[in-house]
Amino acid sequence: MTDVTRMTAAQIAGLIATGEASAVEVATAHLDRIAAVDDRVHAFLHVDRDGALAAAADVDARRGRGEQLGPLAGVPVAVKDIIATKGVPTTAASKILEGWRPPYDATLVERLRAAGTVMLGKTNMDEFAMGSSTEYSAYGATNNPWDLGRIPGGSGGGSAASLAAFEAPLAIGTDTGGSIRQPGAVTGTVGSKPTYGGTSRYGLIAFSSSLDTPGPCARTVEDAALLHAVIGGHDVRDSTSIPQAVPDVVGAARLGATGDLTGVKLGVVKEFAGEGAEPGVLAAFRESVEALVKLGAEVVEVSCPHFEYALPAYYLIAPSEASSNLARFDGVRYGLRSGDDGNRSLEEVMSLTRDEGFGPEVKRRIILGTYALSSGYYDAYYGQAQKVRTLITRDFTSAFERVDVLISPTTPFVAFPFGSRTSDPYQMYLADLYTIPTNLYGGPAISVPCGLSEGLPVGFQIMAPTMADDRMYRVAAALESAVGTLTPPEL
C-alpha cells in the first residue's frame, strides 16, 4: 500500500470505507510519522496517542458492524491548542495554562468526534493566537517544513506545519486576523476562514471575540471543504452563531475542480497592488490570475479605499477585546498561580501570576488594549476603529455588487527567517496586511498555494461575501486544478 501519510483526506476516507485500510492502521502511520519528524518540526504540543488509537478502533468496530459512517470517518485531524478538548491538555501555548485539562469539549471537537475523525493531538501556535510566526509560543517555535530555519506562519503555525510535514492530513485552526490563511500561505497548504458565525466559537479560548473564527486547514481544497462541512453550522451554545446551514462547500469545490470558471467575475483590489509585497510574490500572483482567466474568469479592478486602514483598526480592536477576555486568567479558577506564599494579597498574587504566565506579545497587547479602552482615549482609538470597520464593510459590499469574489496575494512576503521581525512589532503585524480586512467585515476567505518564490510557497487569497463560502471554494479548486499542489522537500 502507498504511504497513507502522503494521501489526501478524501483518499484516506475512501481506503477506510472500502476496507483497504483500517482506521487504526491510518492513525498508527500518522503517529509514527509524528514520532519520526516532530522533534525537528515541533508542530505538536501534545500527541494523544492512546486517545487517537481508541477513536480509530471505535471507527473500525462501527464499520465492522455495518454502520453508516460520515465522509471523513477514520481520518486523522490535528487541533490547534486554543480549542478545548475534554481531558486532553489545552494551553493556548501559554505558561498560564500549563497542564490544564478542560472538563468539556468545544462544539467543533464534539462534531469532529461525532463524524468519526481521529484526533492526533494539539498543535503549536503563538501564545493565545497573538502573532504571525509561532515564535511567541511559550513552548518553543514550530519550524517550517520547507526550511527549518524559517517561520511556519502564525498564529496557527503548528496546524499548517503538521500538514506540510505529512504528520496529519487535516488540521483545525482559528483565524482572528489571518491565523489560518497566513500559515497556509507560507507552508504551501490550504487554509480557509469561514464566514464569522458560520463555525461555532463555543470552547475556543477567546482572543478577540468579534473576530475569532475557527476553520479548516488541509493540503487540498476539497479536503478543506470536507472538514468545513463537518465543523460548520449553527450552535445554540454560541450566541453569535448564524442560524443557517453551511453552504454546499464540498459540491462547490468539486465543481471548481472541473476547471471551468466561465462567467465568474474576479475583483482585483486596486489598493493592494504592490503595497509592500515582494516581487516574487506579485509575480506568482499575476501568473495565477492569468491561469484563472484561461479557465474563463473575468478580471475586474475594484477600489476598496478603506482597506489601508484595516491594519491600524485591527490593532486597536483585537488588543482591546483581548485585554478584556484575558482578564479571566487571574490564578483563581484554573491554570498557574504564582507568589501565593500566605503573605501576599489576592491582587499581588494576580499580578505576579499574570506577569509570570504571559509572554511579551500578550503583555504588549493587553497594555495596548487597556490604553485604547481607557477614559480619554476611547473615542480617539477604539471608537474610531469601530467606525473604520463600518467603512471597510461598505467597501466589501460595494465591491461584491460588481464581482463574485475578491482576489489578492495572501501575504506580502514568503516565510521569513526566525527572529527577523520580532524586534519591531509593527513590522511583524504587516504579515497580516491582506488578510485582516475580511476579519473586520466577517466574510469568508481562503488561501491556496499558487507557486514558489525563492523556492518558498506563495499563497493566493480568495475573499467572498458573508455566507457565500461556496463561491470561494469553487474558485480555489479551479486554481488548484490549474497550478497543482506543492510538495515540500523531504525532511
Partner 1 sequence: MAAISREEVAHLARLSRLAVTEEELDKFAGQLDVILQSVARIGDVAAEDIPPTSHSVPLTNVYRDDVVRPGLTQDEALSGAPDAADGRFRVPRILDEEE
Q: Which residues carry out catalysis?
A: 80, 155, 179
Kindly write out the interface string for residues 199-238 of this chain, putting x where it contacts partner 1 by CB under 8 A and - elsewhere.
-----------x-------------------------x--
Binding residues for partner 1 restricted to 41-70, rule: CB under 8 A? none
The reply on whether position 344 binds partner 1 by CB under 8 A is yes
For 130, the grid coordinates are: 497573538
Nearest to 267 by CA among 245, 299, 236, 313: 299
Please count the residues of this chain forming the interface with partner 1, following the rule CB under 8 A: 71
Which of 35, 276, 346, 397 binds partner 1 (CB under 8 A)? It is 346
The reply on whether position 294 binds partner 1 by CB under 8 A is no
Least CB distance to partner 1 at residue 286 (A): 29
Query: What does the angle CA 141 – CA 211 – CA 395 come to, to the nearest 5 degrees?
Result: 120
Contacts of 74 (CB under 8 A, 6+ apart): 12, 13, 16, 22, 23, 26, 27, 56, 59, 60, 63, 116, 117, 118
The reply on whether position 375 binds partner 1 by CB under 8 A is no
- Name the one range near partner 1 by CB under 8 A: 59-67, 245-253, 254-262, 354-362: 354-362
Nearest to 92 by CA among 149, 176, 36: 176
- What is the rounded CA–CA span in Å between residue 430 and residue 268? 20
Least CB distance to partner 1 at residue 344 (A): 6
Asked if residue 75 lies in contact with residue 198, where contact means CB atoms within 8 angstroms, the answer is: no
- What is the rounded CA–CA span in Å between residue 174 and residue 181? 9
Which of 19, 140, 274, 383 binds partner 1 (CB under 8 A)? It is 383
The reply on whether position 292 binds partner 1 by CB under 8 A is no
Q: Is the dihedral of CA 129, 188, 231, 317 positive or negative?
A: positive
Tell me whether residue 11 or residue 209 sits nearer to partner 1 (CB atom).
Answer: 209
SS3 content of the chain, % helix, strand, coil (to 5): 45, 15, 40
Q: What is the residue-wise DSSP string for 100-145?
A: ---SS--HHHHHHHHTT-EEEEEE--SGGG--SSSTT-TT-PPPBT
The reply on whether position 136 binds partner 1 by CB under 8 A is no
- Name the one range near partner 1 by CB under 8 A: 96-104, 177-185, 294-302, 445-453: 96-104
The reply on whether position 401 binds partner 1 by CB under 8 A is no
The reply on whether position 312 binds partner 1 by CB under 8 A is yes
For 120, the grid coordinates are: 492526533
Least CB distance to partner 1 at residue 328 (A): 12
> How far, rounded to the nearest angstrom, does the alpha carbon of residue 388 sit from its chain's CA centroid?
24
Q: What is the residue-wise DSSP string for 45-63?
A: EEE-HHHHHHHHHHHHHHH
- What is the rounded CA–CA span in Å between residue 320 and residue 323? 5
Write down the residue that cell numbers 454546499 correspond to.
Answer: 248
Q: Which residue type, as a one-letter code, is found at position 284? A: A
Which of 48, 60, 127, 330 binds partner 1 (CB under 8 A)? It is 330
The reply on whether position 331 binds partner 1 by CB under 8 A is yes
The reply on whether position 391 binds partner 1 by CB under 8 A is yes
The reply on whether position 328 binds partner 1 by CB under 8 A is no
- The CA-atom distances, in angstroms, between 421 and each of 64, 151, 249, 434 are 53, 10, 36, 18
Write down the residue that cell numbers 475523525 correspond to.
Answer: 117
Least CB distance to partner 1 at residue 215 (A): 15
Which of 286, 328, 387, 402 binds partner 1 (CB under 8 A)? It is 387
Tell me whether residue 384 or residue 481 sits nearer to partner 1 (CB atom).
Answer: 384
Which of 11, 28, 384, 453 binds partner 1 (CB under 8 A)? It is 384
Tell me whether residue 244 or residue 258 sits nearer to partner 1 (CB atom).
Answer: 244
For 259, the grid coordinates are: 476547471
Least CB distance to partner 1 at residue 262 (A): 31
The reply on whether position 485 binds partner 1 by CB under 8 A is no
The reply on whether position 32 binds partner 1 by CB under 8 A is no
For 390, the grid coordinates are: 463600518
The reply on whether position 93 binds partner 1 by CB under 8 A is no
Tell me whether residue 293 or residue 327 sits nearer to partner 1 (CB atom).
Answer: 327
The reply on whether position 155 binds partner 1 by CB under 8 A is no
Torsion, Cα of 81, 85, 89, 95 (10° steps): 50
Which of 122, 150, 201, 389 binds partner 1 (CB under 8 A)? It is 389
Tell me whether residue 115 or residue 385 sits nearer to partner 1 (CB atom).
Answer: 385
The reply on whether position 385 binds partner 1 by CB under 8 A is yes
Asked if residue 433 lies in contact with residue 408, where contact means CB atoms within 8 angstroms, the answer is: no
Write down the residue that cell numbers 512576503 correspond to.
Answer: 413
Which of 128, 139, 166, 196 binds partner 1 (CB under 8 A)? It is 196
The reply on whether position 380 binds partner 1 by CB under 8 A is yes
Question: 86: buried, middle or exposed (CB in 10 Å: 19+, 13-18, 0-12)?
Answer: middle
- What is the rounded CA–CA span in Å between residue 297 and residue 65? 48
Asked if residue 238 lies in contact with residue 107, where contact means CB atoms within 8 angstroms, the answer is: yes
Binding residues for partner 1 restricted to 108-127, rule: CB under 8 A? none
Binding residues for partner 1 restricted to 402-431, rule: CB under 8 A? 424-426, 429
Least CB distance to partner 1 at residue 332 (A): 6
Least CB distance to partner 1 at residue 383 (A): 6
Binding residues for partner 1 restricted to 432-461, rule: CB under 8 A? 440-442
The reply on whether position 286 binds partner 1 by CB under 8 A is no
